[in-house]
A and B are shown apart, each in its own frame.
Chain A
Amino acid sequence: MKTKNRNVLAAACTLLGLALSSLSLLVTPAWAADYPSRPVTEIVPYPAGGSTDLAGRAVANAMSEILGDKVVVDNRSGGGGSVGMAALARARADGYTIGVAPVGTIANQPHMHRTPYSAESFDYLCQFYYAPQVLAVKPGSPFKTLKGVVDYAKAHPGELTYGTPGPGTLPHLQIEQFKRLAGADITHVPFAGDGPGLTALMGGHIDLYFALPNTVTDRDLRAVAVFSEAPIEALPDLKTAIQQGYDMTAAVAGGLVAPKGIPEDVRDRLASACEQATESETLKTVLGRVGLDAVYLSPGAFQDLVLSTSKTNGELIRDVLKGGGH
């Protein structure tokens, strides 16, 4: 009987302790002076091991050193990244939960279907990675230039195919945008991610694919254009789309965001830590291995990029996916 009582007492004490400690979490205000006083969670809306995850882990490591407390990666995947972004939008706006936001995930998904967040639900901290898109062609493809592709597509509407990692993803909408610019009709074949899509390109089952520069160099693929402002180091001989007469750029990019309404001083601290991290050698090396460049954008500039992408892509999604016109 005595032991039983003691057990009950012990359980009650534990519960009380738990309640008190959670209460203390609730009432502790986040002052920048002592921020961070505990580890920061960084939500990555994609599974561990993918390029977004690797970029997220690299920036988390670099920021841990700068902030002096751990930044812990929490993978919340599913729904094309929307599950993780929703969890982030719902998190407490105290600066202890931040997240990696690829531009496509944060700008496109809310236009695709009803999500509990929109591009306006977040405080923007920084952009820390960027890579221009390269239009790769299948092995043995006759096309040498972007004009060659466009001319053929104009003469044979709908015959050429391009693959994407899924409907409503950044590359899908970018190629749709290019089709409008060039006035060419190319058929969209969506895959479940870059893995199956690239394999289909390498096996010659589809004609075109928007890929990262390192994908093209590492897998001995051939490309017809890079969609950057100027030619890139990795593929010095490849002409830009602009040089070939199509005034368009396209890139993948991403940064850090937090739920809207975090204390201003905390936001500044995170933004400056992110800027320092972007300049570090380690981040450059790790991002380089997955084919991304460490390119910093200030909170304001990154927000403008996401909001303008959201606007353009919202219209494209309405026309291409919801209007049913392929």
Chain B
Amino acid sequence: MDALMSALSMLAAPDALLAVVAGTLVGIIIGALPGLGSLLAITMALPLTFVLGQGASVALLLGIYCGSVYGGSLSAILINTPGTPQSAATVLDGYPMARRGEAGLALGWATTASAFGGILATVILAVASPLLARIGLKFGPVEYFALGLFALTCIVTVSRDNLVKGLMAGLLGLFVAVVGQDPVTGYLRYDFNVFDLSAGIGLVPFLVGLFALSEVFWRAAERAGGSAPVIRSAFRCPSPGELRRRFSMLLKSSLIGTWIGTLPGVGASSASMISYAEAKRSSRNRDKFGTGEPDGLIASEAANNAVTSGAMVPTLSLGVPGDPITAVMLGALVLQGVTPGPRLFLDNQELVLFIFLMLFVANICMFFGGWLMSPLFSRILRLPEPLLMAAVVVLVAAGTYSINGNPFDLLVVLLAGIGGFLLRYNGFPLAPMVIGFVLSPMIEQSLRQGLLMNRGSFLGFFASPIASGLFLITALFLLWPLLSGARRRLFSSRTVKE
């Protein structure tokens, strides 16, 4: 109780509150700009934490983290370009909604889902953090492999128009990620003696080129021009009735995001894809996925924001950051003299409580920030198209370059843009390629680790109940059309008999 009181007093400090509000708003803007992501936003704020006190530093970083993950959805919906890799799955249904003229509603759903996911995850975190950390530890290489395989089924979901082309694009994505150092032997693969390729193809340049730049090329190629979506409605919150109808989707996606957040190394990009795959499997509106179905948008956005809170579980309770973003946050905490790890929850309870409360506040700020700022962003779309597209090119180049300061990344953006355009021109969907690319390192590394641990035997993978369960779900998902067809036949023949 004392801990709670002192956490509340830390929360009420004006500098902490100011930091969380400012952090969230800046995070939303940076997240919405294609190419500038959460990592850049947090890294930019890192020097500020040397001057701010402990409470304000933590508040600033949490605000930026939550805001930037949400911000990515704005550009995903409005200009068909995920602002951050975490929003890659949001494009799938968000942009079609905007094209239909429902951008306001899409923004409303994205904001509601993000805030709901973040808040629910925070509540779960506050109640069950040490327990979740223990469950997360049960995931070893074998379980990660099974999880990655399940997430790959997303490819089927997003290539509804042409499964063969979708699978080809997915394989291409898996393959592009193979460039660089072999994760087990350290050999270089497909580097063609170009040193810059030895570090592999970066996620941000690849993703941004594939979506944003190819979109620019695409619109330039459409000579008529004026086919940009007409945005009339500004921000529109879903009505209570709509909310109630889709509440179970909201809840489930948030739970998936929270849980995946607790697994180190999986990350918000994969989480939103896994959630999307599960939504597609179970939603009542599964046939409409990919054509602007709010359920798909909810699945992605609720999950990726739930990850932000979930990711704090291993970071705080094990001292192990799950991704580069939480690694920077861990670094900032360490500089503030806090040692995350199992003993943090015993030794520094008020700080842990403060972090939970701050996450809560950050998510609320994010909701109102989104509500205030998304009309501004949708106004961007009223800009003349050539101007908007030129701005996207500048942002994409500047944003990508700012991450590593490596000119080679700009070449990757350009080539990915041309490649993306050619793929679209020939009717290949881009989403499967991104899914393959994002999941490839996790699947490859965990498969090969699992084989090393089981001395080259695949049978060992089935010894893990978690992995076996995930394999089973994956198989059921892939066989579902066959199974349901068989059931329908069986059922209809029975009714005929009656």
Contacts and interface: CB of A to CB of B under 8 A. Distances in A.
Contact of B445 (A115, A168, A192): A192
Interface string B399-433: 00000111000000000000000000000000000
A161 B453 contact: yes
A168 B184 CA distance: 9
A88 B174 CA distance: 32
B497 to A, nearest CB: 53
A235 interface: no
A113 B137 contact: no
Contact of B453 (A74, A189, A218): A189
B195 interface: yes
Contacts of B265: 192, 195-196, 199
B335 A54 contact: yes
A104 to B, nearest CB: 12
Interface in B47-97: none
Given A75-B43, A218-B319, A49 B331 contact: yes
Given A50-B331, A202-B318, A205-B140, A76 B406 contact: yes
Contacts of A200: 140-141
A49 B193 contact: no
Given A161-B452, A189-B453, A195-B322, A113 B181 contact: yes
Interface-central residue, B42, B139, B186, by most chain A CB under 10 Å:
B186
Contacts of B452: 161, 187-189
Contacts of A189: 141, 449, 452-453
A80 B187 CA distance: 13
Contacts of B264: 195-196, 199
Interface string B117-161: 000000000000000000011111100000000000000000000
B321 interface: yes
A76 B405 contact: yes
Contact of B193 (A75, A80, A114, A161): A114
Given A48-B328, A202-B137, A195 B321 contact: yes
B204 to A, nearest CB: 12
A53 B332 CA distance: 11
B470 interface: no
B341 A218 contact: yes
Interface in B327-348: 327-332, 334-335, 337, 339, 341-343
A29 interface: no
Contacts of A187: 452-453, 455
Contacts of A203: 136-140
A115 B195 contact: yes
A254 B168 CA distance: 45
Interface-central residue, B198, B406, B441, by most chain A CB under 10 Å:
B198
A57 B74 CA distance: 34
Contact of A286 (B181, B329, B335, B453): B335
A8 interface: no
Interface in A109-167: 112-116, 158, 161, 166-167
Contacts of B343: 218, 220
Interface-central residue, A78, A192, A195, by most chain B CB under 10 Å:
A195
A161 B335 CA distance: 33
Interface string A189-219: 1111001101110111110000000000011
B199 A289 contact: no
Interface in B169-211: 180-188, 191, 193, 195-196, 198-200, 202
Interface-central residue, A86, A113, A204, by most chain B CB under 10 Å:
A113
B266 to A, nearest CB: 10
Contacts of A321: 185-187
B325 to A, nearest CB: 9
Interface string A90-119: 000000000000000000000011111000
A261 interface: no
Contacts of B137: 199, 202-204
A195 B136 CA distance: 13
A286 B332 CA distance: 11
A289 B319 contact: no
Given A218-B319, A218-B343, A219-B341, A192 B441 contact: yes
B386 to A, nearest CB: 21
Contact of B43 (A48, A78, A191, A195): A48
Contacts of A113: 181, 186-188, 191, 198
Contacts of B342: 219-220
B401 to A, nearest CB: 12
Contacts of A166: 183, 186
A47 B199 contact: no
A220 B319 CA distance: 11
Contacts of A198: 318, 320
Contacts of B185: 167, 321
A53 B331 contact: yes
Contacts of B141: 189, 200, 205
Nearest to A58: B335
Interface string A42-68: 000001111101100000000000000
B446 to A, nearest CB: 10
A129 to B, nearest CB: 15
Nearest to B340: A218
Nearest to A50: B327
A75 B195 CA distance: 18
A190 B183 contact: yes
A82 interface: yes
A219 B46 contact: no
B290 interface: no
A183 interface: no
A195 B320 contact: yes
Interface in B285-339: 314, 318-322, 324, 327-332, 334-335, 337, 339
A199 B318 contact: yes
Nearest to A80: B181
A116 to B, nearest CB: 5
A321 B183 CA distance: 12
A213 B320 CA distance: 15
A86 B195 contact: yes
Given A47-B324, A50-B331, A161-B452, A79 B339 contact: no
B335 A289 contact: yes
A47 B327 contact: yes
Interface-central residue, A48, A86, A190, A191, by most chain B CB under 10 Å:
A48
Given A49-B332, A82-B199, 12 more contacts: A54-B331, A78-B406, A112-B181, A112-B186, A113-B188, A161-B453, A187-B453, A189-B141, A202-B137, A205-B453, A219-B341, A290-B334
Return the 4 tightest CB-CB contacts between A and B, nearest first: A49-B328, A205-B140, A49-B331, A79-B199
11 contacts: A48-B328, A49-B42, A49-B330, A78-B202, A187-B452, A195-B322, A196-B264, A199-B136, A199-B137, A218-B319, A218-B341
